[in-house]
Structure 1
Amino acid sequence: MNTAALRAWRLSFYFGAVFAVVGVMAPFWPVFLKARGLTATEIGLLLSAGLWLRVLANPLIAQLADRRGERRRPLLILTLVAMLAFSCFLYAKGFWGLLAVNLIASVAFSSIMPLGETVVLSTVYRLGLDYGRLRIWGSITFIATSFTGGAMLAVFGSWSVLWAILALLVIVLLACTLLPTEYERKAPAPKRASGAMGQLLCQPVFLLFLLAGGLSSASHAVLYGFATLHWRGVGFSDTLIGALWAEGVVAEIILFWLGNRLLERFGAANLLALGAAAGIIRWTAMGLSDSLGLALLTQGLHAFTFGATHLGAMHFIARAAPEEMSATAQSLHGAVGAGIAVGIVMAGAGWLYQAFANGAFFFMAGIAFASLLAALLLARVWDGERMRLSGETETSDK
């Protein structure tokens, strides 16, 4: 096996390991918390607190990693902290005890992804690998552990969720030890990396990127929060609903497989625009009709509303962010998109769905339209080069 193929295998293994954990946590973690005696309100508060703390903590952790010029060592430390924190759920009791442990576990685990993405993208661009065909394994293991997690829960009960997460974190630890380190800086980062967040947030191009990506992510709020409830309400069986969700991930896998071709054809900024345009179509269609045929068609558009947006975002960061600030850029993207934007829109999504039922998707189409405008403006003003920050000389580092 040559060097590029070996690196590709290790990066694919990393994605598979991390998203295997997500495949258990996303659908089943609230079930475990409920079994520990928490009410629905307490579960919501616990999950929300973890989300907002991640928004604050993850960019700071990433900036520290950028300053030190390391990736693998922080990843190993964060994985060990996550393992320790999740182990504490064996002993924590009551809302406040579970909240404290969950905050630590949430921050540690969620910080792994932006640092890992930085390693992956650095290796992809140096060795000419196909990012989409690496990332595809995360989607595959997400589906696998989501399906097997449901069967595990039915047979072994709610505690099996915690034990599965702990077992899978051991695999994440192994995957992190296999990540390449030869592209890490051997010397301390330039002094400007110490203020990476401030410098990035002063760049109009980067702010446009955050706006386009954040609004696109936020437009999924009604889907993630209420689509299952709505489909149940119109008579879809749980098996059919599960198949609809799986269809979306399969569509995403297909897009990732074609990722390099799409990137060459459209470019990073236009992929963001493509995802937003698909969002306008998807959410408008879901607002117009409850039919099964339309549901099948709109779930296929997940390939673009998530897949194309994610692909465009990753390649924008790899090409536009200074390398010594790449982890900070990744973490800001996650904090704004999966954190602030989704958190704000999700807060109003319940009221929208209660008031308008599937008509709430029309509001999501409006958010996707705003994302499209930001993405088109980004495509117009970004020259495809790395951003030149204050005090930098003119360069053409792609």
Structure 2
Amino acid sequence: MTPSIPYWRLSGFYFFYFALLGSTAPFLGLYFAHLGFGAERIGELVAIPMLMRCVAPNLWGWLGDTTGRRLAIVRAGAACTLISFGLVFYSKSYAWLALVMALHAFFWHAVLPQFEVITLAHLRDQASRYSQIRLWGSIGFIVAVIGLGALFDRLSLDVYPMAVMLVMLGIVFSSIWVPNATPAERPELEGQGGFLRQLCRPGVLAFFVCVGLMQVSHGPYYTFFSIHLESLGYGRGTIGLLWALGVVAEILTFLVMAALLSRFSLRQVLVASFLLAALRWLLLGSLADHLGVLLIAQLMHAATFGSFHAAAIHFVQRSFGPRQQGQGQALYATLAGVGGALGALYSGYSWAGLGPIWTFAIASLAALAAAVIIAIPEREKQV
């Protein structure tokens, strides 16, 4: 990193932000199960934060592009996330928890799209080094899943809300430490037009449809993977380690992502990511009781999140002008939220009615559909 890039300050924010994801993705469903909710209610509660990504990122993205005060939005969003999640201590009823999930997610999902713009603004012509900063988010995720997995093996899940709030406090402090930056002005491409015109190009629309499908396919994984493993006899500490293994593979992918993108097109990287996701969900649904297969499936997280996310961030940056960067990143987050919410909802009902095998099989079909869409030859010049 060159001295002009605040590497550790940016990395520190990603560390705590994704430590929060590591605190929720593996354990939120377990916590709701601990409170006595059934699969359908768990699926609905997990879907609510994802549904908020349909609204919050676009609202905050528009505000960030209009005012240019992205860092202020990040800091306010981090503080309000902490405060609103604290309401969980008031009641554990379904209706109250649904409110808490919606309220804290409204502010949480304001944060990352704006911070992505700030990070890329700091990097400027070194955007290929984004993965070297983003990998610290993966490290934060690993620290959270391993640490909390060990903690919950020793203590009751009753301490879960307090543990999550400590991570949120880390996000608040790290956001204060980050210096501001604005995207460099660059000439608008001929015929580029405004945000909607850029969005309506065929390759861009195809990409965002695939983003939604990819997140639909992750529904069973983020909602029921830990519950699935616990039902197969794995301990919570082991479950945390298995989540961490996937993120280790993700980190290794981030380290080599610049080299991969210099050798392969974004379309090729995305197709490979979707196809490996389709295979991974089949393995998790049918053969998760075999530890060797489970380890291989977790290593595939390198593709289903690592290479997919890095390629997607580059695609969004390339597809939108400097005045639409916030809205582009927000739309990416929104489509991910729509897909994630639909994935959580369908998996809740499917899990109760059809069981793990068919639930993960549906996820595999969604990822396969994304691969087909993005692989259409006519899209090659746009993706």
TM-score of the pair, normalised by structure 2: 0.84
Alignment deviations for residues 240-271 of structure 1 (CA, whole Å, 9 cap, x no partner): 54443322111111111111111111132322
- The corresponding residue for 2:22 is 23
- After TM superposition, give the deviation of residue 383 of structure 1 in Å: 4.4
Going from structure 1 to structure 2, the CA distance change for 1:362 and 1:141 (only over 3 Å counts) comes to same
User: Equivalent residue of 2:181, what SS?
Assistant: coil
- After TM superposition, give the deviation of residue 107 of structure 1 in Å: 0.8
Alignment deviations for residues 89-123 of structure 1 (CA, whole Å, 9 cap, x no partner): 44457554444343221110122111111212232
Going from structure 1 to structure 2, the CA distance change for 1:364 and 1:127 (only over 3 Å counts) comes to closer
Alignment deviations for residues 144-179 of structure 1 (CA, whole Å, 9 cap, x no partner): 122222344466655643333333333222322333
- After TM superposition, give the deviation of residue 143 of structure 1 in Å: 1.4
Question: How far apart in 2 are the matches of 1:98 and 1:356?
Answer: 26
- The corresponding residue for 2:326 is 327
Letter in 1 for 2:59: L
- The corresponding residue for 2:252 is 254
- The corresponding residue for 1:342 is 340
User: Equivalent residue of 2:182, what SS?
Assistant: coil
**Contact 2:153–2:237 under 8 Å retained in 1:** no
- The corresponding residue for 2:272 is 274
- After TM superposition, give the deviation of residue 135 of structure 1 in Å: 1.1
Question: How far apart in 1 are the matches of 2:221 and 2:3?
Answer: 42
Question: How far apart in 1 are the matches of 2:277 and 2:161?
Answer: 35
User: Equivalent residue of 1:3, what SS?
Assistant: coil
- The corresponding residue for 2:374 is 375
Letter in 2 for 1:301: M
**Contact 1:213–1:309 under 8 Å retained in 2:** no
Question: How far apart in 2 are the matches of 1:378 and 1:81?
Answer: 45
**Contact 2:124–2:184 under 8 Å retained in 1:** no
- After TM superposition, give the deviation of residue 13 of structure 1 in Å: 1.0
**Contact 2:211–2:332 under 8 Å retained in 1:** yes
Q: Percent identity between the aligned chains?
A: 26
Of 198-207 and 136-145, the range deviating more from structure 2: 198-207
Question: How far apart in 1 are the matches of 2:126 and 2:142?
Answer: 29
Of 17-26 and 307-316, the range deviating more from structure 2: 17-26
- The corresponding residue for 1:83 is 82
Question: How far apart in 2 are the matches of 1:201 and 1:261?
Answer: 28
- The corresponding residue for 1:394 is none
- The corresponding residue for 1:64 is 63
* Max Rg structure: 1
User: Equivalent residue of 2:6, what SS?
Assistant: helix
Of 293-302 and 137-146, the range deviating more from structure 2: 293-302
Going from structure 1 to structure 2, the CA distance change for 1:28 and 1:121 (only over 3 Å counts) comes to same
Of 167-176 and 357-366, the range deviating more from structure 2: 357-366
- The corresponding residue for 1:142 is 141
CA RMSD of aligned residues (A): 3.3
**Contact 1:92–1:101 under 8 Å retained in 2:** no
Gaps of 5+ in 2: 186-193
Question: How far apart in 1 are the matches of 2:43 and 2:285?
Answer: 26
**Contact 1:271–1:311 under 8 Å retained in 2:** no
Question: How far apart in 1 are the matches of 2:210 and 2:313?
Answer: 13
- The corresponding residue for 1:215 is 213
Gaps of 5+ in 1: 187-194, 385-398
Letter in 2 for 1:341: G
- The structure whose RCO (Cα within 8 Å, separation 6+) is larger is 2
Question: How far apart in 2 are the matches of 1:54 and 1:263?
Answer: 28
Of 83-92 and 284-293, the range deviating more from structure 2: 284-293
Letter in 1 for 2:62: Q
- The corresponding residue for 1:294 is 293
Question: How far apart in 1 are the matches of 2:76 and 2:87?
Answer: 17
- The corresponding residue for 1:164 is 163
